[in-house]
Amino acid sequence: MPDSARSRSIADLPPQTAANPASKAEGRARYFNTGNAFNVKLPVVPNAVFTAEPMQALDPATSTGLIACDVSSEMACAFPATSPLVLAYYARIRSGEALATDFVASGVVYYVMQGGGTTVSGSETVSWGPGDIFVTPGDESQNHTAGGEDAVLWVVTNEPQLAFENLQAPASGQSPTNTVHYTADELDRQIALIYEIGRGDDIPGSALILSSEKQEASRNVLPTLTVAMNTLPPGETQRPHRHNSVAVSLVIKGEGCFSMIDGVRKEWAPWATTITPAVSVHSHHNEGAEQAKFLIIQDGGIFYHARAMGFEFAEHPI
């Protein structure tokens, strides 16, 4: 009896194959239907906070190297990932030592948590210090050297995006970004300008969005990654909202701060990496005495390009 006769619905059919394949190519074909093709159920992106990883990176006993924020096992990913398209690390570089990196990514975003040093990427050298952000292209390897004290960096790539499609890093000269450097002083100046001018309630927060010469039209750092330095004055709340991108954030300064994610309170911790799952209703709250600051990286570029960002305010009791 054929499968179709035994099944109560086409949704019960297993993947079908050609009855009499005449070639290897025909034999590789698989056939689904409207009943069984759209019911793929994947594990959710966890509403996670990474606190052990920054503690390890800041520990003077930790050797030079990378510490990944990896929840791939929770998401059933076959490759390391912090979210389906993003991977975050902490990098510790001991004074006078060097860390070589060669990520299979379109580009890499770095935030300097502690210390100073230099990064050589191709023919360019970036001299960085605390609070700086810099970006390196994916078609080059990098060599990072710490100066007179141990350095700690937060490092974010789109390696999972490329791994998902089994792609390689861009060919030489084909990276969607050059080396870009955002100094701490200039970041502070730009944030001050935002507050000087002010905004209406229709604008979601007071965040500085980073882009570059190559990505100016998209207003992103990489075609698929958006980078924002978000701020929140003491006593204020960022309105509840949702969007289709996942947010991976670094808490830079946030004593007395917390987030609400789908009605669940998430406390902030110093230098923690947090995940805000896609489409979750979330808000950020500052009950401390100082302005909060957190660096947010989203896979927003891919949703903007697909015309599917889905941003909306979502006022409800929290």
Taking CA atoms, 122 is separated from 8, 117, 142, 143, in Å, by: 61, 16, 7, 9
> What is the bridge-based pairing of β-strands 257-261 and 264-267?
antiparallel
Higher-pLDDT residue of 318, 296: 296
Which pLDDT score, from 0 to 100, does residue 6 have? Answer: 56
What is the CA angle 137-141-147, rounded to 5?
A: 100
| Mean pLDDT in residue range 180-204 | 94
Give first-to-last CA distance, the chain, whole Å.
56
Task: Flag whether pLDDT at 203 surpasses 90.
Answer: no
Distance (Å, rounded) from C-alpha 68 to C-alpha 144? 17
- 48-73 pLDDT, tens per residue? 999 999 999 999 999 999 999 999 99
Whether this model's pTM surpasses 0.85? yes
pLDDT band with cut points at 50, 70 and 90 for residue 318: very low
CA atoms of 134 and 2, how far apart (whole Å): 60
pLDDT tens digit sequence for 221-278: 999 999 999 999 999 999 999 999 999 999 999 999 999 999 999 999 999 999 999 9
Predicted confidence band of residue 13 (pLDDT cuts 50, 70, 90): very high
User: Tell me, what's the pLDDT at 131?
Assistant: 98
**Mean pLDDT lowest among 183-192, 193-202, 208-217:** 193-202
What is the mean pLDDT of the segment spanning 307-317? 84
The sheet carrying 257-261 orders its strands as 264-267, 257-261, 282-286, 237-242, 312-313
Place of tokens 């204020």: 236
Beta strand 180-182 pairing with 133-137:
antiparallel
The percent of residues in the chain predicted with pLDDT above 70, rounded, is 97
